[in-house]
């Protein structure tokens, strides 16, 4: 896959698992045939940080994107046009990882259309899910996912919320063996899902897990994240903004005095930087349908990470 070849050119830093995405990623080396009109370059303070996927040694940028809600828009609508610009900002900023699901109404169809129109599929680390109750439904869903995403493979196929795991996991393994997906994984988004997720991690040894982790829901640091480190499992973080609710909580409050020391100029950046500052975390996948917010999110993948004291201060503030 071209994107993986590009990842392999990334220069490793001395810190294990950390690297910087090459600025070439922003140079438009693959000219999008039907990209939206140019707009101001995304505000970026430096190269986007990347992380290593333990099961292969491949790397992926630490800031990705989710599609729940924000990509559930009508094709052919002003919202879709705005998403074209959002996705352009995303790829031009050096990001590659998108997470979606057949459960997010038409989000996978919207994402597939955006990737195809922009010529971005080859650059994209595409993650989707199996979310069905029996084998026949899973097979039909996977066929439909490929049609909607306009691709014959994905980079990561995850069992959504551990649903029908005893049926879904063997199917995911079979698809991995058939090279329909490079990686397989498990997801959850609630603290109540952490114990079964940990049990499944120990039993099944997935390549990836996806879990909720945020300043106001930091429990994964005591449950899923240490086990991922112990077993060498990559971690995607969902709900880093608590589905957007954290912005209502902070309102127009000032950032902590030390934010500038870590290159942070917005609450969005701070919430994302909190997530990727845990050493188990491979990437965070915030959702937004707005180009300005997308550019802001990418800045969280640059500059210093938060110290343990800074992370603890945020948890104490939002607990």
x-or-dash string of contact with ligand NAP, 133-172, rule CB under 6 A:
---------------------------xx-----------
What is the C-alpha R_g of the chain?
18
Long-range contacts of 316-319 (CB under 8 A, 24+ apart): 317/215, 318/214, 318/215, 318/216, 318/246, 318/249, 319/216
Calculate ∠ Cα 257-263-269, nearest 5°.
90
Pick the stretch among 49-57, 60-68, 165-173, 302-310 that binds ligand NAP (CB under 6 A): 60-68
Tokens found for residue 93: 């900023």
Residue with the closest Cβ to ligand NAP? 66
Q: How far is the CB of 33 from ligand NAP (least distance, A)?
A: 26
Query: Of all helices (H) and strands (E), which one includes residue 298?
Result: helix 291-299
Q: How far is the CB of 237 from ligand NAP (least distance, A)?
A: 8
Tokens found for residue 259: 């934010």
* Contact status: 93 vs ligand NAP (CB under 6 A): no
Q: How far is the CB of 63 from ligand NAP (least distance, A)?
A: 11
* Contact status: 301 vs ligand NAP (CB under 6 A): no
Q: How far is the CB of 37 from ligand NAP (least distance, A)?
A: 21
Q: Are 141 and 102 in contact (CB under 8 A)?
A: yes
Count Cβ atoms below 10 Å from residue 15 Cβ, excluding itself. 9
Which of 12/39 has CB closer to ligand NAP?
39
Touching ligand NAP, residues 239-278 (CB under 6 A): 239-244, 247, 268
Applying CB under 6 A, among 32, 36, 66, 102 the residue interacting with ligand NAP is 66
* Contact status: 289 vs ligand NAP (CB under 6 A): yes
Q: Measured between alpha carbons, how far is 15 from 297 in angstroms, rounded to an integer?
A: 23
Q: Measured between alpha carbons, how far is 164 from 42 in angstroms, rounded to an integer?
A: 41
* Contact status: 96 vs ligand NAP (CB under 6 A): no
* Contact status: 287 vs ligand NAP (CB under 6 A): yes
Pick the stretch among 164-172, 215-223, 237-245, 253-261 that binds ligand NAP (CB under 6 A): 237-245
Q: What DSSP state is assigned to residue 125?
A: E
**Secondary structure (H, E, C), 11-29:** EECCCCCEEECCHHHHCCC
Q: Which residues bind ligand NAP (CB under 6 A)?
A: 66-70, 99, 160-161, 187-189, 210, 238-244, 247, 268, 285-290, 293
């Amino acid at each position: 896959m071209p994107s993986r070849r590009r990842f392999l050119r990334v220069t490793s830093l001395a810190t294990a698992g950390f690297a910087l995405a090459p600025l070439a990623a922003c140079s438009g080396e693959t000219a999008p045939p039907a990209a939206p009109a140019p707009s101001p370059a995304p505000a970026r303070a430096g190269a986007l940080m990347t992380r290593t996927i333990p099961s292969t040694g491949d790397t992926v940028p630490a800031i990705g994107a989710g599609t729940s809600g924000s990509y559930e828009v009508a094709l052919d609508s002003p919202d879709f046009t705005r998403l074209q610009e959002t996705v352009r900002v995303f790829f031009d900023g050096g990001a590659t990882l998108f997470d979606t699901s057949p459960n997010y109404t038409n989000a996978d169809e919207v994402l597939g259309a955006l990737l195809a129109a922009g010529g971005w599929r080859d650059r994209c680390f595409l993650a989707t899910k199996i979310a069905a109750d029996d084998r026949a439904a899973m097979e039909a869903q996977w066929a439909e996912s490929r049609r909607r995403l306009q691709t014959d493979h994905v980079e990561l196929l995850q069992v959504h919320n551990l649903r029908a795991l005893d049926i879904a996991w063997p199917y995911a393994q079979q698809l991995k063996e058939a090279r329909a997906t490079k990686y397989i994984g498990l997801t959850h988004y609630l603290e109540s899902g952490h114990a079964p997720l940990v049990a499944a991690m120990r039993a099944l040894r997935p390549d990836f897990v996806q879990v909720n982790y945020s300043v106001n829901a930091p429990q994964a640091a005591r449950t899923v994240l240490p086990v991922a480190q112990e077993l060498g499992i990559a971690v995607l973080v969902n709900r880093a903004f608590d589905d957007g609710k954290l912005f209502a909580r902070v309102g127009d409050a000032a950032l902590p005095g030390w934010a500038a020391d870590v290159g942070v100029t917005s609450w969005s950046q701070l919430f994302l930087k909190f997530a990727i500052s845990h050493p188990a975390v491979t990437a965070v996948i915030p959702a937004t349908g707005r180009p300005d917010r997308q550019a802001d999110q990418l800045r969280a993948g640059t500059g210093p990470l938060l110290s343990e004291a800074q992370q603890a201060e945020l948890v104490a503030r939002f607990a």
